[in-house]
Structure 1
Amino acid sequence: MTDGRLRSTISAWRPSVPGITEVFHAHFTDHAYPAHTHDTWALMILDDGSVDFALDRHRHGATGTGMVGLLPPGVSHDGRTVTESGFRKRVLYLDMTVLPEQLTGSAVDRPILDDALLRQRIHQLDTSLGHAGDAFEAESRLSLIRERLRFHLDAPRTRTPGQEAPGLAAALRELLDSRIPTGISLHEAAGILHAHPTHLIRCFKRTYGLPPHAYLTGKRIERARRLLLDGRRPAQVAAAVGFHDQAHLNRHFTRHVGTTPARYAATRGRAAAS
């Protein structure tokens, strides 16, 4: 959506990931937000430019791509551009299941976080939210972001994996193996295994060297390769192994194997002829 008069470009959508009520991307050059409040947390990263805003009557400035902004619910704030080129931002609006309202005071005291790792995780989450079918990955990334935000807000932390890690990781792997075509949400897995979602991710990665969503994607690719060599069409394979659609299969298959499913399947005929 574009507004030629304001020279602004925005896009917004509601993802299917619990805890995220809206994703909002914008390039503003001369827009100024009036004072307002949100019912949600606003988690923001900048891709370019600078922004100036007041939160609870105190002014703050954010510049560059290394910062993270966190505006709490129910607290008045505004926002405006600083330079003629304006700013580009990506915002995730998070509900109270991600961060409780009790952490508002800490966020008011420190709405700008200089944390490159947190910024990178938000970028990765935002990217995964732009691809249909990557909800399990997005849930996992959101869980790690939640933990890091709570660290900045001085909230109690998730414990470090201990002796229980291998057993918990094995139980999750078995659960994922049983749900390859249908998939499973992180919160459902955590409920079945009676573990905190972030703790579950850390135990799995510590034991197997990769996060659960990457493991599940790898298993789907492995199964897809077998079906393609059996002569199944890529669209059929995508549905059979749990990808959202053929485009979803193509993206992950190319990243894993280095070629598209169709080209991979075509080698079957050449090999048989030779």
Structure 2
Amino acid sequence: MNQSPSPTPASSGPNQQPFSSHFMSKYVQPAVSDRDFRNVEYRLHNRRSVALYRCSRDFATPSTPKPDFMLRLHLNKFPAQHEVNYGGGWLKRMPDSYVLAPPNVDSRVRGNLQNHFTSLILVFPETELRQVAGELLDAEGKHLWQPPSKELHDTSISTLMRQLWESSCSSAPAESVLIEGTFISLVGRLLLSGQQKRLAIPKYESSASLITSKALNYMQDRLSEKLTLEEIAKAAGVSRSYLIRVFAQATGKSVHARLIELRIERAKQLLIQYGRNMTLDQVALACGFWDGTHLTRSFFEHVGITPQQFRENS
């Protein structure tokens, strides 16, 4: 069996270690001893009590109840040959379909259990859902606790899940903001999944410019730091979900995208001002990038040339 190394338990914050220990014991350890699993990779996010894992299996088995929400995305390009029931109905894993299983439900399986299938799974506790959704959870999110009666298709859910997976493997400073923003957006889509009609898009708030200005000033003053979305929202005096909405309304961009632009702009200033008196690693650290390689990759994506070429042309 090809087993990827188990993740290092998260250690930041008083509530992180218990979830990490719980996840390791309830999710990782059973898979380690399960010979039907192949190529299992786990990723924990240090700043949030969320975890992802991607696994391939050749044999479907029922699962015991877990105390967390489990969002499963079927990655195969063909339907699975078995069906799963989380208490609400029999579900056949169709390509790019997802299922949200609430806490403390078990699953049953039927059909051809010996078939290959691959899943991307997000696990998170109820506390994370409540922290993000706030009062909306009681008003609009009651359906999230219902056993799934059908599998769903939503390109946004699929895209956000894949984006979470890709960004969770990076330790770059800006990725933490991206992960938090993506998770908040994902919770928003899950809340909408139970609506007969989409929730009305709020009108442009009159305070959006002031909130956005505070967020931008906070980021501008701390470009060398490992900023989180929570810190930026707190500086702007609003919640993370509210900041994401008004920031996009005011700028047409996400907080993460604008943060990267600010870091690139600062890098340009340093390259022009100090030339070869600063190494690319020094410029990178001063602008919040992980190292010179990370700076070069992001710089090229946004500017079209490398920092070295920019410095030579300046």
TM range (shorter): 0.7 to 0.9
Structure 1: which 4+ aligned runs deviate by more than 6 Å? none
Name the CA distance, whole Å, in 1 between partners of 2:264 and 2:164.
21
The CA RMSD over aligned residues, in Å, is 3.0
Q: Which residue number in structure 2 is paired with residue 2 of structure 1?
A: 2
Match of 1:252 among 286, 293, 298: 298
User: TM-score, structure 2 length as denominator?
Assistant: 0.73
SS for the counterpart of 1:90 is strand
Q: Which runs of 5+ in 1 are unaligned?
A: none
Q: Which residue number in structure 1 is paired with residue 247 of structure 2?
A: 204
SS for the counterpart of 1:216 is helix
**Larger deviation: 35-44 or 134-143?**
35-44
Name the CA distance, whole Å, in 1 between partners of 2:61 and 2:209.
50
| Aligned 8 A contact 1:220 1:242 in 2 | yes
Structure 1 residue 158 displacement after superposition? 9.6
Name the CA distance, whole Å, in 2 between partners of 1:165 and 1:202.
9
Match of 1:53 among 84, 90, 94: 84
Match of 1:73 among 103, 116, 141: 103
- When residues 35 and 121 of structure 1 are mapped into structure 2, their CA distance, relative to the original with a 3 A threshold, is closer
Structure 1 residue 192 displacement after superposition? 3.4
| Aligned 8 A contact 2:68 2:102 in 1 | yes
**Larger deviation: 193-202 or 132-141?**
193-202
Q: Which residue number in structure 2 is paired with residue 11 of structure 1?
A: 41
Structure 1 residue 99 displacement after superposition? 2.1
Match status 1:180 vs 2:223: yes
Q: Which residue number in structure 2 is paired with residue 116 of structure 1?
A: 155
Q: Which residue number in structure 1 is paired with residue 64 of structure 2?
A: 36
Q: Which residue number in structure 2 is paired with residue 27 of structure 1?
A: 56
Name the CA distance, whole Å, in 2 between partners of 1:40 and 1:153.
19
**Larger deviation: 172-181 or 83-92?**
83-92
Greater strand share, structure number: 1
- When residues 172 and 151 of structure 1 are mapped into structure 2, their CA distance, relative to the original with a 3 A threshold, is same
- When residues 204 and 264 of structure 1 are mapped into structure 2, their CA distance, relative to the original with a 3 A threshold, is same
- When residues 142 and 225 of structure 1 are mapped into structure 2, their CA distance, relative to the original with a 3 A threshold, is same
SS for the counterpart of 2:128 is coil
Name the CA distance, whole Å, in 2 between partners of 1:152 and 1:130.
28
Q: Which runs of 5+ in 2 are unaligned?
A: 4-34, 131-136
Structure 1 residue 207 displacement after superposition? 0.7
Aligned residues: 264
SS for the counterpart of 2:129 is coil
State, as a whole percentage, how many aligned pairs show the same letter: 23
Q: Which residue number in structure 1 is paired with residue 205 of structure 2?
A: 162
| Aligned 8 A contact 2:223 2:286 in 1 | no
